[in-house]
Amino acid sequence: GRKWTEVGLVNESLKDKTVLVRGRIQTTRPVGKNIGFLVLREKGFTLQCVLTVADNLVSRQMVKFATSLSKESHVDIEGIVSVPDAPIKGATQQVELQVRKIYGISKALPTLPINIDDAARSEVDIEKALQGGEQLVRVNQDTRLNFRVLDLRTPANQGIFRIQCQVENIFRQFLLSEGFVGIHTPKLIAGSSEGGASVFRLDYKGRPACLAQSPQLHKQMAICGDLGRVFEIGPVFRAEDSFTHRHLCEFTGLDAEMEIKEHYSEVMDVVDHLFVAMFDSLNENCQKELEAIGKQYPFEPLKYLRKTLRLTFEEGVQMLKEAGVEVDPLGDLNTEVERKLGKLVLEKYDTEFYLLHRYPLAVRPFYTMPAYDNPAYSNSFDVFIRGEEIISGAQRVHVPELLSTRAEGLGIDLKSIETYIDAFRYGAPPHGGFGVGLERVVMLFCALNNIRKTSLFPRDPQRITP
C-alpha cells in the first residue's frame, strides 16, 4: 500500500518531501485562474494546501476542480511540503503542501446545516465578530445535536471524546492495578435498582421488567459471590423527567464495589487515589485535547489536593450556616446549596474536588449502611467537582433482616428484590462501593456547562435521535 501521513504530523521535519494525506476540505479559495488555496482538516488538525500552475505542478482544470469542491468533502492529496516565510493563519500546521495530485473521495452536500468554522468558535469570538458587523449564525445546542456528526468535527469535540476515553481508561487501569475485577451486570432486571420514580419499565416476555438504573444490586451480589473487588463500565438508564444541564436518560456509569475490612473510609481511599491519579494523567497526557477544548470553551484547570479533602455532612452544614445559609441538618442539599458549599470549600481549602461523607440516612437509598454510632446518619458519601456531584458511594447493608426492613420502610416491593436479599442469607462480607457518572466527570473537569456536550449522542427527556 501507499504510505500515508496524518495531517497533524505534517511539519517542518518533512520539508521538501512528498507526502500523501487524506482529510476533509475545510475551506477553498481560488485566486484568479492559476492559483488556489484549500485548507485540509483531519482529526481537528488543519493544513494549508496550495495549487499553482507554475512549474506545471497542476493544470488550470485542477485548480478549478479543487477550489470548487464543497466544504467537508473528503479528498486525498499528494504534495510537497514547503515552509513559507510568514506564519500561516487559519491552519494548525505551520507548513504548506504544494499540491501535485488531488483525488475526490466523498462529496459533501454543497450546503450543510452546520458550518464547522462557526460551530468551532468561542462565545467571546462570536460576540466580537457580531460587534464587528460580521454575518454569522450562532449554532445552538439543539442544532448541534440534530446534526451531531457535523458538530463532532470541531476541535473541541474531538478533544472531549478523547478525554472521555482517557477517563474510562484510567478508571479501568487503576482499579485493575488495585486488584479489582471487571464485570458486566444485566441491564434487563426484574425491579428498580435505585427506587421507582425514574425507571424505564418494559415488557419482558409477558413479565414486568426494568432497564437497570445502576449495577447496584448485581455488583453487590458479585461480592456475595466472592469476587472480592469488582468494577463495571456500562450504560445506566434513568427515566428522568426534568430537563437539566446535568441529567441524561442514558449515561455511562463507572461503578466499583469492594469488601471492607474495618471502615467505609477504605472505599473513600480508593476514590481519593483513583481520582488524583486520573486528574494527574489527564493534565499530563491530554494537553492537546484540553487546549482544543479550552480554545472554544475557556476554563481554568481543576484545583485539587494531593490528598483529597474529606468533610462530614455536619461540617458542611456548619460551613453553610456560618455563611448565612440555613439547611435542614438531616435533609438533602439541593443543587444550589451544593454549589454554594463548593465555593466555600474553595475559599477555605483551595480545592475544587472534595468528598462529603456521613450523610443523613433519610436521604440515602435503602441499601445504605446506617452509621454505627448514630442511625440518623449513614456510612455514605458524595464527591464533588466544582460544586457539582460526580459520585455517590457508601457502605452497604449486608445483614438481610435489616435490608428487608429498610426496603419495606421505603415502600419497595420486596418480591422484586427477593433474590438480591437472599444473596445475603448465604453469608456476606461487609462491603461498599461507589458510582461515577462518566459524562459528568468530563463535563466538570473541563468546566463545561451542559452534560449534552460530553455525551456522544445524548438521550434526554426530549431526545432519542440521532
153 labelled catalytic: no
Residue 214 makes contact with ligand 4AD by CB under 6 A = yes
From the list 240, 259, 289, 439, the catalytic residue is 240
d(CA 222, CA 183): 9
24, 440, 453, 459: residue in contact with ligand 4AD (rule CB under 6 A): 440
Residue 366 CA neighbour count, 13 Å, CB half:
25
240 labelled catalytic: yes
Amino acid (one-letter) located at 341: L
Q: Which residue in the block uniquely carries the three cell numbers 419499565?
A: 201
Q: With CA atoms as reference, report the closest residue to 198 among 142, 164, 244.
A: 244
Burial 210-244 (b: 16+ CB within 10 A, else e): bbbbbbbbbbbbbbbeebebbbbbbebbbbbeeee
From the list 172, 247, 263, 339, the catalytic residue is 247
Region from 118-126, 135-143, 371-379, 430-438 binding ligand 4AD, contact rule CB under 6 A? 430-438
The helix, strand and coil proportions of the chain, stated in percent and rounded to the nearest 5, come to 35, 25, 40
C-beta of 289 vs 389, nearer to ligand 4AD: 389
174, 180, 237, 251: residue in contact with ligand 4AD (rule CB under 6 A): 251
C-beta of 48 vs 392, nearer to ligand 4AD: 392
Give alpha helix (H) positions in 242-382: 265-285, 287-296, 313-322, 335-349
408 labelled catalytic: no
- Counting beta carbons within 10 angstroms of the beta carbon of residue 406, is it exposed (0 to 12), middle (13 to 18) or buried (19 or more)? buried
> What 8-state DSSP symbol labels residue 363?
G
Region from 175-183, 247-255, 296-304, 340-348 binding ligand 4AD, contact rule CB under 6 A? 247-255
d(CA 218, CA 185): 6
C-beta of 240 vs 272, nearer to ligand 4AD: 240
Q: CB of 252: closest distance to ligand 4AD in angstroms?
A: 9
Residue 392 makes contact with ligand 4AD by CB under 6 A = yes
Q: CB of 98: closest distance to ligand 4AD in angstroms?
A: 49
d(CA 235, CA 254): 9
From the list 238, 358, 364, 396, the catalytic residue is 238
172, 247, 288, 463: residue in contact with ligand 4AD (rule CB under 6 A): 247
224, 337, 394, 443: residue in contact with ligand 4AD (rule CB under 6 A): 394
Residue 185 makes contact with ligand 4AD by CB under 6 A = no
From the list 144, 246, 357, 396, the catalytic residue is 246
C-beta of 253 vs 387, nearer to ligand 4AD: 253
- Contacts with ligand 4AD by CB under 6 A lie at 194, 214, 216, 238, 240, 247-248, 251, 253, 255, 389-394, 433-437, 439-440, 451
